[in-house]
Structure 1
Amino acid sequence: MSDYIIETSGLTKSFKGFTAVNGVDLRIRRGAIHALIGPNGAGKTTCFNLITKFLEPSEGRILYKGEDITRMKPADIARLGMVRSFQISATFPHLTVLENVRVALQRPLGTAFFFWRSETSLDGLNDRAMQLLDEVGLAEFAGAQAASLSYGRKRALELATTVALDPEVLLLDEPTSGMGREDIERITSLIKRVAVNRTILMVEHNLSVVSELSDRITVLARGQILAEGSYLEVSSNPEVVDAYMGSGHA
């Protein structure tokens, strides 16, 4: 078994003559927290969308646990155990916090999203749902509508629902975007917790979050890999300082 759970080879995406991602070879080690960073326009979001199959590559291959997933659909990728969150919180606003987690918990039972079933048929999921809410600090909000939560707590709920799907690989798109310091600290702590026995690939602008969480960092610039390594290694790389840290983008 390979040490790498996700591998890309020559990953390329062109849009009408503009190459957003150009020949990217990524290797994401099992059990690691791997960050993808770079200045605006570096291609990191496009690369992220290619790996999660929300975009089709122009060239190259994507392997997941050694299997070629280059032409698979996003739903098929999720069934294999690779689940992504989005930069914009994706919850059901008019369901309660508890109900949001219960919906996610249905998938492994083979009853996913059977909204017409009696509500009592889902009561067996309550204990696990409450456990997940407790883990993300939302147990006291279980009966509240998701729409009533603060932004930071909505992101915590999204993490709970994502973890409820029991992913092997969790892909996080700007998990602390738009948050104040207190919420950033809460989400950073949550990510550490859910990373146990999982692999995480994240796109993140906040360098303090990157430095605290990441085992390995890939820096993109102009659609290509500029540097890879630990935070100490990439932050002291003159090319990275010039292209990323010196650009004024945090």
Structure 2
Amino acid sequence: MTADIILSTRDLTIEFKGFVAVDGVSLDIRRGTIHALIGPNGAGKTTCFNLLTKFLTPTKGTITFKGNDITALRPATVARLGLVRSFQISAVFPHLTALENVRVALQRKRGGSFDFWRSERVLRALNDEALNLLDAVGLTDFAALPAVELSYGRKRALEIATTLALDPEMLLLDEPMAGMGHEDVERIAALIRRVSANRTILMVEHNLSVVASLSDHITVLARGKVLAEGNYSTVSSNPAVIEAYIGAGHA
């Protein structure tokens, strides 16, 4: 494995009672790139994502992160190594403010227990860093607003801020544009482009215009296997990819 590969898999496979959801997938994700994992519904994208972040255990195959075999590690251990994911459904505390949500995430980064019993003065020491993260995702003006009152797109931006609070080297985004209107899609795409400046990003995404504009490299899955790889121009003109999408009812 070359030094510029941050995450790789070899023959990654998972079987559920005779059904092979991910079948012999080998990936190489280069440092500092935005890598998209796409494919028609049922292609195995989210299952592959769950394998990479250790929410599922492979039937066979290996996963290597920064040259270390992480195949048998637990999700929290993998996150502490710098491989952190967001979820398809926004995962923030609805009745905490945006600032408080990021502050809780900063406490997680420290390890050990949370500081709920500590004085407000101690907690305020985290405010500067939390406000910097909110500024990075365009939420400075919403710092004091409960998360439940944020628009859907801004909730996703807040989730990215809480993910960034863990200081990941590699960020895995599970359908970051899911359920968004055009304005929110543009906002989150611009945010992903900004936060990728000094990080590697792997994302599962259905919005192909977003994939085209953001991705350096794309892996197409179909029926749990790698169907094609390359830049958007390469994979979008691949007859097998076109057939997979049309055959699955996608334009």
Aligned to 2:206: 205
In percent, how many aligned pairs have the same letter?
70
Aligned to 2:35: 34
Aligned to 1:107: 108
Task: Kindly indicate whether the alpha-carbon contact (under 8 Å) linking 2:82 and 2:168 is maintained by their aligned counterparts in 1.
Answer: yes
* Aligned-partner SS, 1:196: helix
Listed one character per residue, the Cα deviations across residues 186-232 of structure 1 (whole Å, up to 9, x for unaligned) are 00000001111100000000000100110000000011000000000
The alpha-carbon deviation at position 245 of structure 1 amounts to 5.0
- 5+ residue gaps in structure 1? none
Aligned to 2:82: 81
* Aligned-partner SS, 2:197: coil
Task: Kindly indicate whether the alpha-carbon contact (under 8 Å) linking 1:44 and 1:220 is maintained by their aligned counterparts in 2.
Answer: yes
CA distance in 2, matches of 1:188, 1:161: 17
- 5+ residue gaps in structure 2? none
Aligned to 2:126: 125
RMSD across aligned C-alpha pairs, in angstroms?
A: 1.3
CA distance in 2, matches of 1:226, 1:95: 43
The alpha-carbon deviation at position 248 of structure 1 amounts to 3.3
User: Residue type matched to 2:66 in 1?
Assistant: K
Task: Kindly indicate whether the alpha-carbon contact (under 8 Å) linking 1:94 and 1:147 is maintained by their aligned counterparts in 2.
Answer: yes
* Aligned-partner SS, 2:125: helix
CA distance in 1, matches of 2:153, 2:74: 30
Aligned residues: 250
Name whichever of 108-117 and 77-86 sits farther off: 108-117
Aligned to 2:147: 146
1:189 is aligned to 2:190: yes
Name whichever of 114-123 and 188-197 sits farther off: 114-123
Listed one character per residue, the Cα deviations across residues 157-208 of structure 1 (whole Å, up to 9, x for unaligned) are 0011111111000000000000000000000000001111100000000000
Matches within 5 A, 1:62-77: 62-77=63-78
TM-score computed with the length of structure 2 as normaliser: 0.96
Aligned to 2:216: 215
User: Residue type matched to 1:139 in 2?
Assistant: T
1:49 is aligned to 2:17: no
Task: Kindly indicate whether the alpha-carbon contact (under 8 Å) linking 2:109 and 2:165 is maintained by their aligned counterparts in 1.
Answer: no
The alpha-carbon deviation at position 31 of structure 1 amounts to 0.7
Task: Kindly indicate whether the alpha-carbon contact (under 8 Å) linking 1:104 and 1:112 is maintained by their aligned counterparts in 2.
Answer: no
TM-score computed with the length of structure 1 as normaliser: 0.97
User: Residue type matched to 2:117 in 1?
Assistant: W
